[in-house]
């Protein structure tokens, strides 16, 4: 019945509650009506060709549920709304492909403003003027490209990048509180948990749909509009932080240079630590699941501890200094993942650890087990490298790289040689080869999705900038968070994309026919 109703093209998507969250699509997702969800999405995509703005209005509030319950449907929907032209006209432009922009909307400001609102009004105007000058300067130094044909397309996801208004439960206490400034600061910190649908998608952990042109256009728009400048400012700040720390720990004597360097480290590190606390409150339990978050936390905590000890006139331990320097260097490399040639290899490394961690755990267990065995058997030998468990652990670990010096004088002891042969066979021949094979598979898979992975990392950087450097007032800027985003696409790219989409649709129809034939045979 629903299928026949949708064929009449009389269904109009609408919300059924004042909060604009409940709709026919969200109801079908919550009830697990797979066929109904697919029919509705297909209907919205088909009608989008007539009007790309209004037919997907109910999809955005339900997108998080759709991605969780039906990830394949979400990916298919994102693919079908990509390269959706607004007009049939073909223009010529010198902008790069997928150049994204928005039709600016003016903010309505209240007539009466208190001191804080007046300051934010001045700051917003100054920020807009600064952004305008940066864009003008960019246009002056930009090398003009040859013009190429393009069609104006739109991302038909209304309010996909827009943040919800501040809840009234958070607004009232500011007016009635005895300490409005402190209350406003607390609201600023607590407001981090309210995200736009785009940010929710970025933090979901999936990266498949980030290679789709519609999502790429959103990333390009945000990167060009505000994230690029802020990302490079954050990178410059981190370079100052890292250089100050490395100068401080490299200075041999306690001098004014070391103290000034460590004061800089302590100040910037405190800011970093405060941002990490906001992320903890904003992401709650998901914070510890991201290796980037853990490395960011380490890059602020360890150098701060070293700096605090130096300022008090104490000499930090060798292990503490080495660990802090390691995290500073590692995090500097991670800061460069905004560049594609660095971001893709970093993603490959993290994917390798995610896929092969169980092999590493087994290998580590083998090393510990045989270290303990050889320590028990040889701890009474004079001058042996297995007298203590720590030296035994190092010696057995060196077996993995072919270093058998510690057992050269034990070749006549059958038990020891038997243990070493078993260890070499299980760890070096079996486990290491399994590890290499898995790593090779991961690298091959990730190379195919390299662009998606890099855009996902870029989107994560944009998400951090939005969530932890923007004030609630800045999030209301329509030039940063427009309702709709437009972009220029090459007509040839659109044709290629439509061809691939038709081939996929044809394959899916074939699969459906095969499934129906099998069901008929079974029945």
pLDDT reading at 11 higher than 90: no
Angle at 10 between CA 7 and CA 14, to 5 degrees: 120
Q: 3-class SS at 193?
A: helix
Question: For the whole model, what pTM was predicted?
Answer: 0.77
Residue 269 pLDDT grade (very low, low, confident, very high; cuts 50, 70, 90)? very high
CA distance 301 to 307: 10
DSSP 157: -
Cβ(208)–Cβ(176) below 8 Å: no
- pLDDT higher at 172 or 230: 230
In this prediction, residues 439-463 reach a mean pLDDT of 82
pLDDT reading at 325 higher than 90: yes
Buried/exposed 198-210: b ≥16 CB within 10 Å, e otherwise: bbebbbbeebbbb
* 129, HSE (Cβ side, Cα atoms, 13 Å): 6
**What is the length of the chain?**
523
Angle of helix 414-423 versus helix 340-378 axis, rounded to 10: 160
Say what the pLDDT of residue 243 is. 95
CA distance 81 to 488: 14
Say what the pLDDT of residue 93 is. 72
Nearest to 163 by CA among 131, 199, 109, 188: 199
pLDDT reading at 462 higher than 80: yes
- Give the model confidence (pLDDT) of 42-53 as tens digits: 888 888 877 777
The CA-based dihedral angle spanning residues 215, 221, 223, 228, taken in that order and rounded to the nearest 10 degrees:
170
- Give the model confidence (pLDDT) of 209-255 as tens digits: 888 888 999 999 999 888 999 999 999 999 999 999 999 999 887 78
CA distance 43 to 419: 67
Nearest to 279 by CA among 473, 474, 468, 471: 468
Nearest to 62 by CA among 98, 115, 20: 20
- Give the model confidence (pLDDT) of 123-169 as tens digits: 555 555 555 655 555 554 455 556 778 888 888 888 898 887 665 55
Say what the pLDDT of residue 112 is. 41
- Give the model confidence (pLDDT) of 85-127 as tens digits: 887 777 777 677 778 888 764 344 333 444 545 555 555 555 5
Say what the pLDDT of residue 129 is. 59
Cβ(30)–Cβ(70) below 8 Å: no
pLDDT reading at 509 higher than 60: no
Following DSSP, what letter does each residue of 244-260 receive, concatenated?
A: HHHHHHH-SS--HHHHH
Average pLDDT, the chain: 79
């Amino acid at each position: 019945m629903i299928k026949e109703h949708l064929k009449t093209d009389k269904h109009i998507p609408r919300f059924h509650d004042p909060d604009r969250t409940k709709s026919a699509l969200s109801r079908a997702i919550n009830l697990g009506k797979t066929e109904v969800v697919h029919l509705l999405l297909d209907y919205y995509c088909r009608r989008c060709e007539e009007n790309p703005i209004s037919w997907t209005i109910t999809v955005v509030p339900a997108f998080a549920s759709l991605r969780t319950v039906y990830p394949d449907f979400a990916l298919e929907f994102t693919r079908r709304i990509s390269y959706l032209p607004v007009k049939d006209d073909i223009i010529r432009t010198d902008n790069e492909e997928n150049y994204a922009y928005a039709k600016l909307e003016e903010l309505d400001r209240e007539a009466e403003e208190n001191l804080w609102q007046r300051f934010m009004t001045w700051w917003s105007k100054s920020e807009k003027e600064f952004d305008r000058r940066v864009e003008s300067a960019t246009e002056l130094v930009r090398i003009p490209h040859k013009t190429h044909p393009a069609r104006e397309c739109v991302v038909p996801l209304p309010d996909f990048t827009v943040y919800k208004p501040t809840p009234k439960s958070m607004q009232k206490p500011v007016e009635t509180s005895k300490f409005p400034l402190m209350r406003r600061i607390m609201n600023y910190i607590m407001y981090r948990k309210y995200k736009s649908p785009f940010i929710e998608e970025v933090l979901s952990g999936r990266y498949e749909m980030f290679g789709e042109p519609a999502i790429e256009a959103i990333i390009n728009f945000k990167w060009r509009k505000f994230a690029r400048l802020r990302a490079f400012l954050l990178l410059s700040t981190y370079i100052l932080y890292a250089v100050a720390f490395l100068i401080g720990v490299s200075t041999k004597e306690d001098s004014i240079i070391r103290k000034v360097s460590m004061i800089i480290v302590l100040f910037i590190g405190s800011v970093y630590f405060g941002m990490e606390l906001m992320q903890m409150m904003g992401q709650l339990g998901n914070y510890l699941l991201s290796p980037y978050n853990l490395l960011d936390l380490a890059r602020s905590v360890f150098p701060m501890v070293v700096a605090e000890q130096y300022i008090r006139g104490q000499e930090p331990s060798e292990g503490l200094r080495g660990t802090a320097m390691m995290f500073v260097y590692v995090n500097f490399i991670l800061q460069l993942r905004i560049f594609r040639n660095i971001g893709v290899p970093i993603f490959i490394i993290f994917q390798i650890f995610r896929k092969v961690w169980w092999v590493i755990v087994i290998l580590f267990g083998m090393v510990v087990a045989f270290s303990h065995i050889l320590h028990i058997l040889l701890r009474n030998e004079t001058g042996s490298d297995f007298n203590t468990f720590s030296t035994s652990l190092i010696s057995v670990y060196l077996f993995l790289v072919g270093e058998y010096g510690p057992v050269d004088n034990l070749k006549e002891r059958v038990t020891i040689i038997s243990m070493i042969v078993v260890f070499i066979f299980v760890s070096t021949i079996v486990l290491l080869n399994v590890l290499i094979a898995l790593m090779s598979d991961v690298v091959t898979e990730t190379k195919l999705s390299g662009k998606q992975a890099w855009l996902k990392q870029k989107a994560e950087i944009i998400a951090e900038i939005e969530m932890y450097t923007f004030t609630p007032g800045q999030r209301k800027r329509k030039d940063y968070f427009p309702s709709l985003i437009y972009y220029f696409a090459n007509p040839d790219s659109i044709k290629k994309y439509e061809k691939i989409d038709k081939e996929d649709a044809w394959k899916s129809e074939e699969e459906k026919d095969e499934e129906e034939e099998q069901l008929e045979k079974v029945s």
